[in-house]
Amino acid sequence: MALTNEHIKQRLIEKFDTQVSSFEEPYGMLTFEAPKDMNLKVLNFLYDDAELKFRFMTDLTAVHYPDQPGRELAVVYHLHNLEDNIRIRFKVFTDINKPDVYTATALFSAANWMERETYDFYGVNFIGHPNLKRILNVDEMDYFPLRKQYPLEDQSRVDKDDEMFGRGGTLGFGTEKTQHGTITEMEKNDVGDEIV
Amino acid sequence: MSEQHIKLPEGSIEKTTTTLNLGPTHPATHGVMQNILELDGERIVSAEQTIGYIHRAFEKIAERRNLYQITPLTDRLNYCSSPINNMGWHLTCEKLLGVKTPKRVDYLRVIIMELSRISDHLICNSIVGVDSGAYTGFLYVMQYRELIYEIYEEICGSRLTTNIGRIGGFERNFNDIAFTKIRKFLDEYPRVLKEFENLFTRNRIFMERTIGAGAISADRALNYGFTGPNLRAAGVDYDVRIHSPYSSYEDFQFEIPVGTTGDCYDRFLVRNQEMWQSLSIIEQAFRKVQEFKGAEAEVYHADVPEYYLPEKKDVYTKMEALIWHFKIIMGEIDMPAGEVYNSVEGANGELGFYLISDGGRAPYRLHFRRPCFIYYQAYEELTRGAMLSDAIIVMSSLNLIAGEMDA
């Protein structure tokens, strides 16, 4: 019998009662959450259970929700049961001031770098990780760049000389010009008029 | 200089191993990545990988871009098979937006995806040849990668970073030259691939270099999150095209080749077999596309004006197209809020897109599941105890693409 989302949900509720919550099925994928200190228990159950057999970790990442005090960071696991070919998504939420989550490296070797990446970009501290250091960014970096408080560069900034890239400056590459560039041109013209 | 003048740093006498930096710009690494190898003679004791040299923060950049502006970012993941990444991204958007594409579009996409799978595999396999000392095969198949790039060029105008297609279909219909070139490829490539196989498959030197090198068991491969040809070489028949068919792959007949030992030789054989399977899929798709006649043969995109960027000549001549063009470019169309994971069978594994939309014009969060980022961490286990020269073959046969690893 192939597994169904409904059945997985029942099994989880039988085992963990009210501790697993927020069951949803966005675009057909069963999604649920658990308290963060339960993450290994849930992952272990999903892995070991003779019926569920979620033994392939497809993906691990984090999402930052600055508007949810106390649960700003979500660590998201995508698991796959290759035999029955069904995927689920499992989330744990954590406080951004104390982003400690147990590591899944003992269960999945694949989690090693994915957790390092998650630490690198979101600062999630995976307790028990064998080598938790930055992986894509430089070691000296002192912030976690994918958090929402770090906006991308403002396209209309003026302190940067990127004339050669078609933005701002006086060369004016047609449509590439920013609003700032246009205003400067207008101001120049105004000044010119006054002199005349 | 007499011996007493040599001052060795303290403790270095006890060290019996040699440290060797392989990379970041070593010709054998085929990309910017560094391996710090600890060598005992020529045996590898341990390896530590450093990656991220070409990290470009795509996930952050994507948080401020429209959906159609993210396609060029996906080009630069696995740049040996950009069209697969592009299609994967379009399919993810279509899943989020609920767009249903016509069959002809699906088949055209299949042709493009399988062509790029061939181009990726032939590069990877011929590079394995180069690293084991056989340059001929590489030069020989390169002509046919060129032909594949010419086909891309006919369809989208560019060759390497293709930015091919749009949400809902293609930017224009395939022209006759494209079809002629695809036909030419289908007619000529089998002979070349056969000859390529003859050069390697039973070549004594090649076999001795690759059999047993970098072997991994199916269990370990699964635990390490291997996907694609690397997992199949270890004997697991997992293929996204079969397990969760997308773009009408269910309409095609093909087999999933699997290996047994998961070593470099099996990976090579699996890739070669996959090229044959891809050829057969393209042949089938080509025939299916030819069956569309009349008005049906002109269908190359879904009818979704809210998301499909209209053709430029329509923008200049038709009011409606101009309005939609404006709305899409200015970001006036919000996407539905939702959370979607979609994956395609990339040339080196399962390429996944995890997209969270909060209903705005840009994704709230976009995460790429990059297959080679995930399986490269097994490299230390694969090479421990092996010879230095094996380490190089293992690296090339894993098909590591720095662009994808570093995103």
Looking at the structure, tell me whether residues A91 and A39 fall in a common domain: yes
Residue that is written with structure tokens 């084991």 in the block: B132
Number of domains in chain A: 2
Looking at the structure, tell me whether residues A80 and A170 fall in a common domain: no
* Mean pLDDT in residue range A83-105: 93
Tell me whether residues B225 and A152 touch, CB distance under 8 A. no
Looking at the structure, tell me whether residues A111 and A62 fall in a common domain: yes
* A146 vs B407, higher pLDDT: A146
The domain of A181 spans: 163-195
Fold of B67-406: Cytochrome-c3 Hydrogenase; chain B (1.10.645)
Tell me whether residues B352 and A59 touch, CB distance under 8 A. yes
User: Which residues 160-189 of A are in CB contact (within 8 Å) with B?
Assistant: none
B21 vs B37: CA distance, rounded Å: 6
A139 vs A124: CA distance, rounded Å: 16
Looking at the structure, tell me whether residues A86 and A169 fall in a common domain: no
Instruction: Report angle CA A21, A24, A29 to the nearest 5 degrees.
Output: 125
For B2-24, b/e burial (b = at least 16 CB within 10 A) is eeeeeeeeeeeeeeeeeeeebbb
Element (H, E) at B222: helix B218-223
* Mean pLDDT in residue range B280-300: 93
Looking at the structure, tell me whether residues A176 and A110 fall in a common domain: no
Using an 8 Å Cβ cutoff, are B352 and B375 in contact? no
Instruction: Determine, yes or no, domain membership for A132.
Output: no
Tell me whether residues B352 and A78 touch, CB distance under 8 A. yes
Sheet holding A30-34, edge to edge: A21-24, A30-34, A86-94, A73-81, A56-64
Strand A100-102 to A30-34 pairing: unpaired
Portions of chain B given CATH number 1.10.645.10: 67-406
* Mean pLDDT in residue range B5-9: 68
pLDDT > 70? residue A188:
no
Looking at the structure, tell me whether residues A67 and A122 fall in a common domain: yes
Q: Which of A82, A105, A127 is the last residue of a domain?
A: A127
Residues of A in contact with B330 (CB under 8 A): none
Instruction: Determine, yes or no, domain membership for A87.
Output: yes
Give the total residue count for chain B: 407
pTM of the model: 0.89
Instruction: Determine, yes or no, domain membership for A181.
Output: yes
Q: Which of A120, A138, A146 is nearest to B53 (CA)?
A: A138
* Mean pLDDT in residue range A20-30: 91
B294-351 pLDDT, tens digit per residue, is 888 899 999 998 899 888 888 999 999 999 999 988 878 888 999 999 999 999 999 9
pLDDT > 90? residue B12:
no
Task: Identify the pLDDT of residue A165.
Answer: 64
B263 vs B121: CA distance, rounded Å: 16
Looking at the structure, tell me whether residues A123 and A175 fall in a common domain: no
Looking at the structure, tell me whether residues A167 and A71 fall in a common domain: no
Instruction: Determine, yes or no, domain membership for A172.
Output: yes
A33 vs A17: CA distance, rounded Å: 12
Tell me whether residues B373 and A55 touch, CB distance under 8 A. no
A55 vs A53: CA distance, rounded Å: 5
Residue that is written with structure tokens 């007493």 in the block: B4
B157 vs B150: CA distance, rounded Å: 9
Interface residues of B toward A, Cβ cutoff 8 Å, are 51-52, 55, 57, 59-61, 63-64, 95-96, 220, 222-225, 236, 238, 243-244, 338-341, 343, 350, 352, 354, 356, 364-365, 367, 369, 373-374, 376-378, 406-407
* Mean pLDDT in residue range A13-28: 90
Cis peptide before A151 (omega within 30 of 0): no
Q: Which of A74, A106, A127 is the last residue of a domain?
A: A127
Looking at the structure, tell me whether residues A113 and A171 fall in a common domain: no
Instruction: Determine, yes or no, domain membership for A91.
Output: yes
Phi first, then psi: give them for residue B44, nearest 5 degrees. Answer: -90, 125
Task: Identify the pLDDT of residue A190.
Answer: 45
pLDDT > 90? residue A159:
no
Instruction: Determine, yes or no, domain membership for A106.
Output: yes
Instruction: Determine, yes or no, domain membership for A138.
Output: no
Tell me whether residues B51 and A135 touch, CB distance under 8 A. yes
Q: Which of A127, A153, A181 is the last residue of a domain?
A: A127
Looking at the structure, tell me whether residues A103 and A176 fall in a common domain: no
B378 vs A58: CA distance, rounded Å: 15
B87-96 pLDDT, tens digit per residue, is 999 999 999 9
